[in-house]
A = this chain, B = another copy of it.
Amino acid sequence: MPDSAAPASPTPSPGQGESARAVTPDTTRFVLLHTSHPGNVGAAARAMKVMGFADLVLVRPRFADVLAREETVAMASGAADILARARIVDSLAEALEGVSFACATAMTPRDFGPPTHAPRELLPRLAAGPHRVAFVFGSERYGMSNEEVYRCHACISVPTHPEYGSLNLSQAVQLVAYDWRQALGGFGVQPRVPDATLADGVAVQGALEHWREALVEIGFLDPAAPKKLLPRLQQLVNRAQPTAEEIHILRGIARAVQRAARKGRH
């Protein structure tokens, strides 16, 4: 099913305008233990890359050639460079070379294991420190062994529904990569639409007065018994926070209404 393996992005890259701001891939490492499904390795690479991480290490994956498998490459989509520089090693100890703080993502309780935190609780503190960090993910079926968890300095647990916490492996990688990137300061979101100039109160009142006249002219508003129509419209307009241009449009409509009403009277 190569057809469905590499869905194109629903969220295309913001484009060249932003690329002037060079971003060095973070040195954070992602370690996948004994991964069974090539698709997950590819999806994890893509999930890392969208958050600006590039260091992927696999510990004894089920398939020794997983990095070159068609399904892996298809699910990695544009993240083939992450696969190209990924390493396969024999043990978690090797995978953690050069790392000073390892976060396990095991969710089941371990006696004597490191303390468990929500990512958004631990990661900002960790980002403020001097650590070279690795995030370690267990196999799809069995998670992490006790021995693997014991090597880690903390466990992080993504808060999920108490009765259904079954996160897919690559989804877990995506959430942790996102929270870690946010903790590191995040990437910006470009306001895609330039901020419009909001209309000032005088312009709004002018438009409302214009509409009051038009509504009287077309017989919708009885000036002798106005009820609460104007205050209601006022509230509606206030909530909408119209721009200067929108007020201009509203006055244009009022003007057209008046013209039509006058024509009808002749």
With contacts A9-B165, A11-B172, A12-B143 taken as known, whether A189 is within 8 angstroms of B4 at the C-beta atoms is no
Q: How far is the CA of A190 from the CA of B157 in the complex (A)?
A: 9
Hey, which chain B residues are within 8 Å of A61, CB to CB? none
Residue in B3, B79, B181, B192 whose CB lies within 8 Å of A164: B79
Residue in B4, B7, B11, B172 whose CB lies within 8 Å of A160: B11
Q: Does A46 contact B (CB under 8 A)?
A: yes
Residue in B40, B113, B118, B182 whose CB lies within 8 Å of A189: B118
Contact check, A12 vs B108: say whether CB atoms are below 8 A apart: yes
Instruction: Give A108's nearest chain B residue, CB to CB.
Output: B12
Which 6 A-B pairs have CB atoms at the shortest separation, nearest pair first?
A: A7-B140, A109-B192, A9-B166, A4-B37, A18-B162, A159-B187
Interface band, chain A: 35 or more
Beta-carbon contacts under 8 Å, A133-181 to B:
137-141, 143-144, 155, 157-172, 174-175, 178, 181
With contacts A12-B107, A192-B107 taken as known, whether A168 is within 8 angstroms of B37 at the C-beta atoms is no
Hey, which chain B residues are within 8 Å of A113, CB to CB? 192-193
Contact check, A10 vs B169: say whether CB atoms are below 8 A apart: yes
Hey, which chain B residues are within 8 Å of A138, CB to CB? 10
Q: Does A242 contact B (CB under 8 A)?
A: no
Instruction: Give A139's nearest chain B residue, CB to CB.
Output: B10
Instruction: Identify which of A47-55, A94-102, A211-219, A221-229 touches chain B.
Output: A47-55
Contact check, A178 vs B163: say whether CB atoms are below 8 A apart: no
Contact check, A47 vs B171: say whether CB atoms are below 8 A apart: yes
